[in-house]
Amino acid sequence: MVARSGRQHRALVVALLATLLLWHVPFGGFVLYPFKLLATWMHELSHGIAMLVTGAGFDRMEVYRDTSGYAYSLRSTGPLGAALVASAGYTGTAAIGAVLLVVGAGDRGARVALAAIGAALLASAALWVRNPFGIAATVGLGVALLGVAVFARAGATSLLLNFVAAQACVNAVLDIRVLFRSNLVVNGEVVQRSDAHTMADAAFGPAWLWAVAWLAWSLALFYVALRYSYRTSSRSDHGSAST
């Protein structure tokens, strides 16, 4: 088990505070924009992985300027497969964010995680991303994260990974809000159906029930990851004090 040092714990606190601050300042949206695109990529890639697992096949994905996106399957699947694919976007993004918060406990883990995300971005751009903006965004983000992983100092890698993780968790929670609206906007066009509607059709209950369930899942994972980070930091501090 990797314990956070005091510096790594401060990196997590700074990342969380910066996340909260940037959501409430005029220029915050500009700073957060690349991280919102990254969260969209995680969301659509999670759909795609579920498509592969369920046998639906992953045809392509698109990431748009307005931070919305689409993932397309090769074929339809049964109700269980449809439910897994529909739920994978929000639950997968929250899970990725939580895992990254835990991995960020160590400088080496943070560097490896950033390199892995960067490589995954480039691989997805080559294999599945098809729209020009999506390709440019995923390649740009991938190169940037790989550059930080290879060349940045340890403190910078930990801070960036914690910020990426915090943004993934926060976006997983905030993006669910759109599921409670009567319609959605994807790439500038109004659509009437969401992942929650697809989930309700494949399983049971109304769409809002699944939106609430995914929101609870995202909050629970965020809480568990933060609690783990706090506990490992406390152990590290106690261990240092006793030596």
Q: 106: which residues sit within 8 A by CB, 6+ positions away?
A: 2, 4, 8
Q: What is the pLDDT of residues 147-158, one digit of tens each?
A: 999 998 877 888
The share of the chain scoring above pLDDT 90, in percent, equals 49
Within 13 Å of residue 116, how many CA atoms lie on the same side as its CB? 12
Q: What percent helix, strand, coil does the chain show, rounded to 5?
A: 75, 5, 20
* pLDDT in the model for residue 156: 85
Give the residue, 240 or 54, on which the prediction is more confident: 54
| For residue 13, pLDDT beyond 80 | no
Which of 23-27, 116-120, 184-188 is most confident? 116-120
pLDDT at 227: 82
Please compute the mean of the pLDDT values over residues 30-49 and round it to a whole number: 94
Looking at residue 233, its pLDDT comes to 55
Average pLDDT over every residue of 219-223: 89
Biggest distance spanned by C-alpha atoms of the chain: 61
Residue count of the chain, please give it: 243
pLDDT of residue 238: 46
* pLDDT value at residue 163: 86
Q: Would you say 133 and 161 are in contact if contact means Cβ atoms under 8 Å apart?
A: no
Cβ atoms of residues 109 and 66 within 8 Å: no
Give the tokens for residue 32: 């957060």
For 138-151, the DSSP string reads HHHHHHHHHHHHHH
Identity of the residue numbered 189: E
- Are β-strands 69-73 and 184-186 bridged in parallel, bridged antiparallel, or unpaired? unpaired
Residue 241 clears pLDDT 60, i.e. is over it: no
Find the Cα–Cα–Cα–Cα dihedral 208, 214, 217, 221, rounded to 10°. Answer: -140
Q: Would you state the pLDDT for residue 17?
A: 74
For residue 216, what are the contacts with CB-CB under 8 A and spacing of at least 6? Answer: none
The answer, yes or no, to whether residue 172 has pLDDT greater than 90, is no
Residue 26 has pLDDT above 90, yes or no: no
What confidence score (pLDDT) does residue 226 get?
79
Domain ranges of the chain: 6-115+153-236
The answer to whether 15 touches 166, Cβ cutoff 8 Å, is yes
**pTM of the predicted structure, to 2 decimals:** 0.86
Residue 194 confidence (pLDDT): 84
What's CA 111's distance to the chain center, in Å?
17
